[in-house]
Amino acid sequence: MFRPIAFCLFASTLLISGCVNRTPPAPTLTQTQLNIALSETETRLLQSMAQQCEKWQARQSLQSEQLQKIEKQQREIDNKLTSVEDKLDRKPSVVAAPTAAREATKAAACPPPSETVAGVNNIGNKIVVGRVEWLWIEAVNRVYEARIDTGATTSSISALDITPFEKDGKRWVRFRLSPDDTDDSYEIEAPLVRYVRIRQASSQELDRRPVAALTVRLGKMTEVAEFTLTDRTQMSYPILLGREFLRDVAVVDVAKRNIQPKPEIVVGKEQPKPVSKTKKQ
């Protein structure tokens, strides 16, 4: 009787000892140890943030240097363009098209008098123009003097109160045309071709200007020409004809003026009423 009881007690002891977790418990952190651990974690975070800031500052410094290099290169290019423009402006005469001079030379070293009399004024299929010529403008049906400027790429005309708008799904521009030094201006509308950026001689900034298409006549030649719109009321000649207008059609003789005959206004065509330049009526 004693032996079965002893055996049961022994077996129970083994089972109880097998269920007991023998892993030692984790030590509890004191307040001091916890503060030290938090301080170390904060230090590591601050060091990581400082490293990130240093990398960001280095990247910003590199980008700033690259931007300065680009700006320097841009200034050098602008200076070269200005130098080229100055050289073109200082030239005493320029043939509008490179082929015009060669064709004129092949035709004759000196054109006969019959090619330079009033009403002809041609060299081959090119017209000869002086430094100033009469220009008929269809929009106002009037004739004005225009300066021939081979140093300018685009033609330009004096315009006030420039307002772009849309007409039949296309771009147009409304403005007051002021083509001479009088107080008269004429409100007209014309197709808006594009915008160009012009650098002023007195400024390094680019001026964005609209370009309008106008029908004009020089001598016997009628063309739809593109004109940059800007206020030229303070200029000696509010109308300027540039190389794009002269290319392939004209040869320039800056020693003369008004070589081509003065165009006639179109009889029966309406002329818009003038509006004061200083105050719209």
**Residue 176 Ramachandran class (φ > 0 left, ψ -120 to 50 alpha, else beta):** beta
Contact 78, 204 (CB under 8 A): yes
Mean pLDDT computed over 158-187: 91
Predicted pLDDT at 206: 80
Greater pLDDT, 116 or 130: 130
- Coil, helix or strand at residue 276: strand
DSSP string for residues in 85-102: HHHHHH-S---SSHHHHH
Token digits of residue 138 = 């269809």
Predicted pLDDT at 23: 60
Token digits of residue 269 = 């065509």
Q: Parallel, antiparallel, or unpaired: how do β-strands 239-241 and 250-252 relate?
A: unpaired
Predicted pLDDT at 56: 85
- Coil, helix or strand at residue 147: strand
User: Which of 3-11's residues contact partners 24+ apart within 8 Å by CB, and which partners?
Assistant: none
Query: pLDDT digit string (tens) for 20-53?
Result: 555 666 667 788 888 888 888 889 898 888 888 8
Contact 121, 127 (CB under 8 A): yes
**Residue 230 Ramachandran class (φ > 0 left, ψ -120 to 50 alpha, else beta):** beta
Residue 214 C-beta-side C-alpha neighbours within 13 Å? 32
Greater pLDDT, 155 or 24: 155
Question: How does residue 1 score in pLDDT terms, banded at 50, 70 and 90?
Answer: low
Q: Parallel, antiparallel, or unpaired: how do β-strands 206-218 and 132-137 relate?
A: antiparallel
Predicted pLDDT at 155: 93
Q: What are the beta bridge partners of residue 158?
A: 230
Residue-averaged pLDDT of the chain:
79
